[in-house]
Amino acid sequence: MTWVLWATGSALLSAAAAIAQKRVLRRVAALEFSLLVSLAVLALSLFVPFTNDVLAFDSRTLALLWGKSLLGGVAFLLVMTALERSAISEALPLLGITPAATALLAWAFLGEALGRAEWGGLAMVLAGVWLLETRAAGGAWQPLHAAFVGGRHRAILGAVALFAISSVADKRLVGSMQVPPLVVMFHQHVVYALLFTAMLLARKPAWRALGAQLRAHGGMLLLIALLTVGYRYCQLEGTRAGPVALVLAVKRTSILYATFFGGRLFAEERLAPRLAGAALIVAAGFLLLRSL
């Protein structure tokens, strides 16, 4: 059960990173922030090529590495965009619906059967989302419409889909392809830095302003980079040691930690119902993934 410890460590570090990210995102735009963090994380990873042969793989493996890293980079930016615009106790719990989305896609397009437990898990997800979005005004269906149709959470819902694909690729890379977790992380950080640099260049950024942000928030960016390296490494080690679906389910408990502590730190509204909704969503993940 070593994977449980790795996944729990990833959850705790991920929650701490999310709270620190939200604090900086109150002052720095999502894309600029994503670039600065990715460069800091890459700097911390520069020892990897000196201890591992990062190119000692065939073209198929490298293509999967860079492809999944590209998807993960876009997903990361989407989450940062959601955190920039929304309360942490509102945006992060929606990341927990990834198992539900995966189960529904498999049912709809692959013909995989869903048992009573799985349907119960889907019902819990809907109940959790309802609690997250419910307001004093509005009809009974208004919370679900706001979450899935209204468009306000388009960024986080897009990240859910991309993270699901990226996580499956992680299992393949560190499992059957036997790519060391540190090597996976290094390629991922290189791709993130290149992706966000290219996206920022397309916007013709003010480099002086970016430098000023780096000087103003350098300490927090370094802390976020350390936490990010930590939770990604723990997740990859957990994925190598155990079932990817259950590792993800345990790692998603970070939502509860970040919702509670982040919600209190930033004095966010409706924290109690949001925490209850997050708990339902996280619990549903275990039901949906229990047989995998």
Q: Residue written as tokens 């293509």?
A: 63
Neighbours of 142 (CB within 10 A): 15
Give yes or no for a contact between 192 and 43, defined as CB atoms under 8 angstroms apart: no
Least confident segment among 61-75, 95-109, 116-130: 95-109
- pLDDT at residue 209 greater than cutoff 80: no
Mean per-residue pLDDT, 184-204? 90
Band of the pLDDT at 109, cuts 50, 70, 90? low
Whole-angstrom distance, CA of residue 26 vs CA of residue 28 = 6
pLDDT at residue 20, as a whole number? 94
pLDDT at residue 201, as a whole number? 87
More confident residue, 242 or 61: 61
- The SS3 assignment for 3 reads helix
Whole-angstrom distance, CA of residue 123 vs CA of residue 284 = 8
Domain that holds residue 137: 2-289
Q: What is the pLDDT of residues 244-281, one digit of tens each?
A: 767 877 888 999 999 999 999 999 988 999 999 999 99
Sequence-distant (6+) residues with CB within 8 A of 229 are 41, 44, 45, 185
Give the torsion through C-alpha atoms of 86, 89, 91, 94, to 10 deg.
Answer: -160
The two structure tokens encoding residue 277: 């909704």
Give yes or no for a contact between 100 and 114, defined as CB atoms under 8 angstroms apart: no
Read off the amino acid at residue 21. Answer: Q
pLDDT at residue 139, as a whole number? 62
Least confident segment among 4-8, 92-96, 260-264: 92-96
Whole-angstrom distance, CA of residue 96 vs CA of residue 249 = 8
pLDDT at residue 140, as a whole number? 65
pLDDT at residue 37, as a whole number? 92
- pLDDT at residue 163 greater than cutoff 90: no
pLDDT at residue 19, as a whole number? 95
How many domains does the chain contain in total? 1
- pLDDT at residue 197 greater than cutoff 80: yes
- Return the ∠ at Cα 220 (arms to 255 and 44), rounded to 5°: 90
Read off the amino acid at residue 283. Answer: A
Mean of all residue pLDDT scores within the chain: 85
Neighbours of 169 (CB within 10 A): 19
- Side-chain half-sphere CA neighbours of 160 within 13 A: 22
- pLDDT at residue 292 greater than cutoff 60: no
DSSP for residue 86: S
Mean per-residue pLDDT, 117-142? 79
Mean per-residue pLDDT, 60-64? 91
Whole-angstrom distance, CA of residue 197 vs CA of residue 213 = 16
Selection from 131, 142, 146, 170 nearest residue 283 by Cα: 131
Band of the pLDDT at 230, cuts 50, 70, 90? very high
Read off the amino acid at residue 44. Answer: L
- pLDDT at residue 241 greater than cutoff 70: yes
Q: Residue written as tokens 């990834």?
A: 98
Percentage of the chain exceeding pLDDT 90: 39
pLDDT at residue 119, as a whole number? 86
Give yes or no for a contact between 92 and 272, defined as CB atoms under 8 angstroms apart: no
